[in-house]
Structure formats: structure tokens, C-alpha cells
Structure 1
Amino acid sequence: MTNHAILTAEEHRDLRVRTDRGVALGDAVMSCITVPSEFRQVQNDYPILFRRNPERDDFAAVALFGFEAGENLFLDGDRWDADHQPLAIAIQPFLIGANAAGFGDKQVHIDLASPRIGTGEGTRVFAADGRPTPYLESIAEQLGALDEGYQGAGAFFAALKRHDLLEPLTLEVTLDDGAINRLVGFHVIDEDRLRALDAAALGELHDGDHLMPIFMALASLANLGKLIARKNRRMAHG
């Protein structure tokens, strides 16, 4: 269950948010949404895959953390073991949404049902005088970047569809202990199709600022081997 509310100094003056990490705080997730404008940072640590929504016949990009539901191989106790946390993880339990009238500037919302809502512990959201703390200012900046990325993602996925650049991923991983993990339901950039595009198609992708995120998504697949190594280490240490 969620309990979303518009964040205000009047209602949430004493609110604190836990910024540490842990299973109890909702971090045991296999993946999270990412956006093309973030691919450059995400590809340093995580595989970037694409997941199709059959009801809407569209795609979303995800940063992959594990091979099965509830598995986050980057979660090490109360620590996130990577240099970059994807924006969709870093901004929790905040989100961005329309104001009560449904138009105008978007506002910062918060999920008051999140386990990150502290009871006397955590980082203050507002200072005693009601001004936003540096923490909230950072969150607002990240929310803005994520929202802007969402707004620009439609054109990116339309370009991938137009040039038929996504193919289903078939991955079967045999771990050191003989266990087999199968990764299904995801897509990746079709590198052969990309190489076969003519100059006009490549120019169109370049003009739309789509080539860089495509290359970043392709480069990120090297992290699949690193993720398998994390899984093997996790299995070896129980």
C-alpha cells in the first residue's frame, strides 16, 4: 500500500527520511526503471535491459540488479555496493506529480507509507524554520532529472521501434554450484540491425540524440558477466 501526499513544510516540518539501505527499507528489488538520459551513468555498474508492456505495446528500460524476483546483488547489508544509484532508487520515497488542480508546475510528493519514513531517525527534509534542507534540494534536482528523462524517453523508444532495434534476450546462466538461472522477458539492442542501418537512418538517430544512449545500453551488457560473478560470490558465502 502507498500513501502519497504533496510535500509541504506546514504538514511535514519534522519529517525525517532514512537514507541507509536494506531489505526492510524496500531495496530487495531485481531491477528499477531507468531513462535514456541516465544511461551514461547507469552503464558503469548495471546491465541496461528493455522490458515490454504488452498492454500498451511499448517499452521501458531497466537497470538490472539480480536474476530473480527480490534479488538485489548490489545490496550489501545496509550498503549499496556501486558507485551510482539509479535515480529511481536514489529518490525514494519521493516522487513528482501534478498539483491538486492537475495543471501548472509539478510538485514533490512523498509516500508516507514507505518504510523509509523515520520516527525520530533519519535525515531531516525541512529545517526548523521550514526551509528545504540540502537533502531535499538534492532530491528535487534528481526528481527533475528523472521527470525530464521520462518526458524524453518516448521519442527514444519510438526510434528503436521504427528501426526495429530491439530483440528478445535469451540468457541461461550456469552458476559455480551448478544451479541454472534463466533471464526471460527482456529485450536488448539488436547490434546486427544497428550495424546494418544506412547513413540516413544513423543520421536520424544522431539528430534525435538517440545514438549515445543506444551505445551506452550496448556497452552495459558487459556488466552481465560482472553480475554473474556477484551471484557466484553471494552463493559461495551463503
Structure 2
Amino acid sequence: MSNHQILNSAEHGELRVHTHADATFGDAAMAALVVPTEFRSVQSEYPIVFKRDAASDRFSALALFGFENGENLFLANGEWGAGYRPMSMAIQPFLVGRPASGEGEGQVHIDLDHPRISSNGEGTRVFDEFGKPTPFLERIAELLGALHQGYELSANFFAALDRHELLEPFTLEVPLSDGSRNTLYGFHIIDEEKLRALDADALGDLHSEGHLMPIFMALASLSQFSGLIARKEARIAGG
């Protein structure tokens, strides 16, 4: 369930939000949605994979945190063990909403039923004692704007991947030291061979449209699987 409201100081002046990482706040997730405009930051920490939605037949991009549902190998002792958190995670419990008319600028909404909403007086204030946005809220507003823009630009990116048939199915078998095995399936990655086979005109088009860099970043991110496996092994060793 969710309870979305337009954020305003009159109704939410005393609101506080838990900002540290914890499973109880929804951080125990195997993956998070990411947008191409943040791929450069994402690839330095996480593998980027793509998943097709069966209902819409559309692709989305994901940063992987683990190998099983509910497993976040970057989450431990109230801390997020990476230098970058995907924007879709960092903005919670806030989101961009539209006016009831469906027209006009996006508005900052908040989900008052989200577990990050503080009910005990702890956490970071959203508004100060004068009803002005705190630096925390100003940063959230910046992230919301960047994420919203990233989502709007994503459609052209995925259309380009489809046009050049640059996504291929991906399965990864992960044998572990305790004898168990994790299998990742149902995802896609950039098809490097087809990318290499593109002619100069196609590559020029991808570059001029701003798609070539995020494609390269998605490819580069696959090197992070070794680190993800190492985190899994460390989690097993630690019990």
C-alpha cells in the first residue's frame, strides 16, 4: 500500500525521514531501476542488466545488488557499502507526481506509508523550523529532477537498442565455495559482437543521439560481476 501526498510545509513541517540503509526501510532488494544518464556512476559499483516486461514488452535497466530475490550484498550494519546509490533508491520515500489535471510541472510527492517515514522523532528533517526546505530536501529535489529527466530520455535509448538489435539474453551460473549454485536468468545484456559489427553510420548515429556512452558503460559494468560474487562468498563465509 502507499499514501502519496503533495509535499508541503503546512502539512509536513515536522516530517522526518530515516536516511540510513536498512532492510526494514526497503533496501533488501536484489536490484534497482537505473536510467542511462546515471550509467557512468552505476557501472563503477554494480553490473547493469536489462529486463523485458512481459506485459508491455518494454525493457528497463537494472543495477544488480545480489543473486536472489531480497538479497542486497551491499547492505550491512545500517550502511550501504558502495560509493553510489542508484537514484531510484536514493530518492525514497519521495517521488515525482503530476497535478490532478495531468498538465504542468511535476511536483514533489511523498509516500507517507513508506517505512522510511519516521514515527519516533528520529531521522532527518524535511523542512526547517521556518518551513523552508532543508539541504536534504533540496538534494532530493535535484535527484528527482535528474531521475525524471532520465526516465523521459530512456525511451529513445531503448528504441535505439531495439533498432540495432543490441540486446541479447543472458544467463550466469555462479558456483559457490559452499557447494551451492546461484543462477541468474531472465535478463539481457549488450550484445558486444553486434555492437562491433555496426558500421560507421550506425555508430555515428548512436553517438550523436547520446546513446553510445551509456552502451559502453553498460558493457563496462559487467566486470563488476566478479566483485558481486566476492561479496556473496564473503557473506557465506561470515554466516
Q: Report TM bin, short chain.
A: over 0.9
How many Å separate the matches in 2 of 1:103 and 1:131?
A: 26
**Could you tell me the percent identity over the aligned residues?**
60
Question: Which runs of structure 2 are paired with 1:141-220 in the superposition (5 Å)?
Answer: 141-220=142-221
How many Å separate the matches in 2 of 1:183 and 1:31?
A: 12
Give TM-score, length-normalised by structure 1.
0.99
How many Å separate the matches in 2 of 1:97 and 1:156?
A: 23
Give the corresponding residue for 1:63.
Answer: 63
The SS at the match of 1:221 is: helix
How many Å separate the matches in 1 of 2:89 and 2:75?
A: 12
- Offset of residue 102 of structure 1: 1.8
- Offset of residue 100 of structure 1: 2.6
- What is the CA RMSD across the aligned residues, in angstroms? 0.6
List per-residue Cα deviations over 1:95-153 (Å, max 9, x = no partner).
Answer: 00102332111100111001111120100000111111110000000000000000000
Question: Which runs of structure 2 are paired with 1:91-170 in the superposition (5 Å)?
Answer: 91-119=91-119, 120-170=121-171
Give the corresponding residue for 1:19.
Answer: 19
List per-residue Cα deviations over 1:145-180 (Å, max 9, x = no partner).
Answer: 000000000000000000000000011100111110
How many Å separate the matches in 1 of 2:207 and 2:54?
A: 28
How many Å separate the matches in 1 of 2:180 and 2:4?
A: 41
Question: Which runs of structure 2 are paired with 1:36-55 in the superposition (5 Å)?
Answer: 36-55=36-55
How many Å separate the matches in 2 of 1:164 and 1:10?
A: 51
How many Å separate the matches in 2 of 1:100 and 1:58?
A: 27
Give the corresponding residue for 1:72.
Answer: 72
Give TM-score, length-normalised by structure 2.
0.98
How many Å separate the matches in 2 of 1:233 and 1:40?
A: 26
Partner letter of residue 216 of structure 2?
F
Q: How many residues align?
A: 238
List per-residue Cα deviations over 1:217-237 (Å, max 9, x = no partner).
Answer: 000000011100000000010
Partner letter of residue 181 of structure 2?
I
Q: Structure 1 unaligned runs (5+)?
A: none
Give the corresponding residue for 1:81.
Answer: 81
Consecutive aligned runs of 4 or more in structure 1 exceeding 2 Å deviation: none
Q: Structure 2 unaligned runs (5+)?
A: none
- Offset of residue 58 of structure 1: 1.1
- Offset of residue 50 of structure 1: 0.2
How many Å separate the matches in 2 of 1:236 and 1:206?
A: 44
